[in-house]
Amino acid sequence: MPYLNITEVESAVTSLAAAFPAAELIGLPEPSVEGRTSHALRIGTAERDGNDVVVLIGGVHAREWGSCEILVDLAADLLEAHRDGTGLTYGGTSLTSTQVRSILDELDVVVFPLVNPDGRHYSQTVDPLWRKNRNPAQSGGDPAGVGVDINRNYDFLFDFETAFHPAAPVRVSTDPANPQQVYQGPRPFSEPETRNVRWLLDQFPRTRWFVDVHSYSEDMLFVWGDDDGQSLDPNKNFQNPAFDGKRGLADDLLYGEFVPKADTDDAAVLAEQFCKGVKGVRGKDYTPMPAFDLYPTCGTSDDYAYARHLVESHNGKVLGFTVEWGKNSFHPPWPEMKKIILDVDAGLAQFCLTAAT
């Protein structure tokens, strides 16, 4: 099977919802700029809001083709194994039928495989290395200026020129035609794709874990992405303007983003369990680490998901993660991508099992 096109991704999601009683189809409220409607799945045996929730999203960056397949296959695997009363085996990583049942009985797993359908379609038909969505509003007629980097458009330190140290190598831009395609957009949540993800988190207030599936570098990242994390000084936090201009430098004494040690410990355990599941398949070593260790970022989904409870106290705490699957290619040859799907699905299944228990 080659990579799925956008019609096939949507068809897979709707078909799974129709075929399995443990799956509920969720229509996202905002169509894309080109008019496409997206869907997610809620997988679980309890009534909605009866269990804690893990939200898994993919297909954010258009050129990272395999993320959609990873999530579609995981959803199908969990639903089929639960229906048939069987376990799951991914190479050397396996879950028993009891463990599969515990995931679906103790959690709601919300799977949103294709956040950016316009971008994926353009990447698969015109420019394989296209990263952004296809919003032309800020382009000024320049084809390179079409689109916004969805994973820089969330409301977390969006005003990076104020928030970060001038020397911080934060990977984001205010230029729509930035060659790295990291244009953040004109304002937070300017894009329907990010608003759909925010809506999904709002719709499931019992969300406790959030994973955004990307490529590549064989990592499992957890918060924070803007600076090194620290648990000693709560005044050093993203909402405190006293530290504007000091964020984003590694191993310095100017700033470190506060995170309670218990949250870091919990996130590290889940990231390690994901990597353990991956390694069991065929020996691939993924690295669990804070997102900042990769490079400094702002406006990303994982930091936004975690920051929500700090900005508005009525929001529940969500531990945010980003998977970076594969190595050296955004769309590996399909025989290798099939192996990567098994790797990452084993990791995500182990992640969900750890969260459920």
CB 342 within 8 A of CB 281: yes
CA distance 312 to 135: 29
CA distance 31 to 335: 33
Report the CATH number of the 6-356 domain: 3.40.630.10
> Which backbone phi and psi does 344 adopt, to 5 degrees?
-70, -35
pLDDT tens readout for residues 327-347? 989 999 999 999 999 999 999
> Which backbone phi and psi does 256 adopt, to 5 degrees?
-150, 135
pLDDT tens readout for residues 178-210? 999 999 999 999 999 999 999 999 999 999 999
Phi-psi region of 134 (alpha: psi -120 to 50; beta: other; left: phi over 0): alpha
pTM for the whole structure = 0.96
pLDDT tens readout for residues 60-86? 999 999 999 999 999 999 999 999 999
